[in-house]
Amino acid sequence: MAEPMGFFTDTTVCIGCKACEVACKQWNQLPATAGGQNTMSGDSYDNTRKLDGIHWRHVQFIEQFSEDRKDGRWLLMSDVCKHCVQAGCLEVCPTNAIIRTEFDTVVIQSDVCNGCKACIAACPFGVIDINPVSNTAQKCTLCYDRLQNGMEPACSQACPTDSIQFGPIKELRARGAKRVQQLHESGEKRAYLYGADENMLGGLNAFFLLVDRPEVYRLPPDPKLPSRNVAMSALFSGVGALIAAIIAAINFRRRTEER
């Protein structure tokens, strides 16, 4: 198996140019819009709105300004599938359409996907959606076809500021930690790495340097695997079934005694 590969995204140097979005769509031949018409979102410069079946990269524009607009800042982040080490989407797929590659990345095989949408519900990051052209679930593949040929993913190659960095996960984690230290020393004490260690779903193979709470970037602070919810639901269902059986037995005994 090849060395685990992934992305380290330093949001502090993102300039919102959307070169990553364009490169992703061009390489993967994704349609510009779902319905063939591009409409303005009204949400700053963000017209792609979110990650879905045809947007595998999404640049967020987060404005933090005071009411008088005299004090504030922009937070920019190119979001993508996290390629979780413990991937909920892979866990729930009934057709084995979702696989883990030799690069430790997570890929949906469209020719095996039956469009059941189980993976959409299982993803704690809201990454996956149906591509209306193929009618199958789709998301970032970390350019699996390019990796197989020794090439860099299209998005990171196109990024002009190296906000999106591609490489071996071990190397990226060290690079990310060094960058956080650098920012702390320069006065940006809020900088930290999101998803770089094993505590979050075994580690994210696409992790981020952030300078605000995860929720500000529309990221869950503590994402969970669906199996944990399933296990808890099964427990409650079992208890409920037991209680229902006891009640039914009591009612049956009462009816028998009344006769």
- According to DSSP, the residues that pair with 208 across neighbouring strands are 9, 194
**Does 253 share its domain with 145?**
no
Q: In the predicted model, is pLDDT for residue 185 greater than 80?
A: yes
Q: In the predicted model, is pLDDT for residue 121 greater than 80?
A: yes
Nearest C-alpha neighbor of 49 from the set 117, 126, 136: 126
Q: In the predicted model, is pLDDT for residue 118 greater than 60?
A: yes
- Its domain, for residue 61, covers 5-223
Q: How many domains does the chain have?
A: 2
**Does 230 share its domain with 219?**
no
**Does 55 share its domain with 143?**
yes
CATH number of the domain to which 18 belongs: 3.30.70.20
pLDDT confidence of residue 226:
81
**Does 26 share its domain with 15?**
yes
233 pLDDT tier (thresholds 50, 70, 90): very low
Can you tell me the mean pLDDT for 162-171? 98
Token pair 């949906």 is at which residue? 108
The reported pTM is: 0.83
**Does 238 share its domain with 129?**
no
Long-range contacts of 150-156 (CB under 8 A, 24+ apart): 153/7, 154/23, 154/24, 154/26, 154/27, 154/28, 155/20, 155/21, 155/23, 155/24, 155/57, 155/78, 155/80, 156/7, 156/20
Note whether 191 and 92 are within 8 A (CB).
Answer: no
Note whether 205 and 169 are within 8 A (CB).
Answer: yes
- According to DSSP, the residues that pair with 76 across neighbouring strands are 61
**Does 229 share its domain with 218?**
no
**Does 189 share its domain with 246?**
no
**Does 192 share its domain with 80?**
yes
**Does 166 share its domain with 241?**
no
Q: Where are the beta strands (DSSP E) in the chain?
A: 5-10, 58-65, 72-79, 98-100, 106-108, 129-131, 136-138, 164-168, 192-194, 206-210
Q: How many residues does the chain have?
A: 259
**Does 158 share its domain with 178?**
yes
Note whether 20 and 78 are within 8 A (CB).
Answer: yes
**Does 63 share its domain with 87?**
yes
**Does 10 share its domain with 123?**
yes
Give the helix/strand (H/E) hosting 252.
Answer: helix 226-258
